[in-house]
Amino acid sequence: SAVISQKPSRDICQRGTSLTIQCQVDSQVTMMFWYRQQPGQSLTLIATANQGSEATYESGFVIDKFPISRPNLTFSTLTVSNMSPEDSSIYLCSVRTGLSDEQYFGPGTRLTVT
């Protein structure tokens, strides 16, 4: 398994500003993902964070709005840019260790945009 931490755990931000969320894993992992979960909804994949190269974004998500970095095998950041109230959501970091298909999730970052 993998232990995943996220910072911040929650934040309240004003529209038009940006927030960077950090994800730290206690071991090297092959794959890191960023998900969004709106209240009462399922998990929507934003992008796969690739180490040393640009992230792979899902349909409906673009790099200018959600820039992602992954400088090494244990750390990634997601930035939510030029925020609007519609960006209010829980953002989850997830990893696969590469030893199996198992996928693990961090505790999430609860973002409220006013």
Partner 1 sequence: GENVEQHPSTLSVQEGDSAVIKCTYSDSASNYFPWYKQELGKGPQLIIDIRSNVGEKKDQRIAVTLNKTAKHFSLHITETQPEDSAVYFCATGNTNAGKSTFGDGTTLTVKP
List residues binding partner 1 (CB under 8 A).
Answer: 4, 31, 33, 41-43, 45, 48, 92, 96, 101-108
**Closest CB to partner 1 among 39 and 85?**
39
Minimal distance, residue 28 CB to partner 1, in Å: 16
Q: How many residues appear in the chain?
A: 114
**Closest CB to partner 1 among 23 and 83?**
23
**Closest CB to partner 1 among 61 and 104?**
104
Q: CB atoms < 10 A from the CB of 95, how many?
A: 27
Distance CA 99, CA 44 (A): 24
Minimal distance, residue 82 CB to partner 1, in Å: 26
Distance CA 107, CA 26 (A): 14
Minimal distance, residue 27 CB to partner 1, in Å: 16
Minimal distance, residue 16 CB to partner 1, in Å: 28
DSSP states of 38-86 as a string?
Answer: -TT---EEEEEEPTTS--EEPTT--TTTS-EEEEETTEEEEEE-S--GG
**Closest CB to partner 1 among 14 and 100?**
100
Distance of CA 94 to the CA centre of its chain: 8
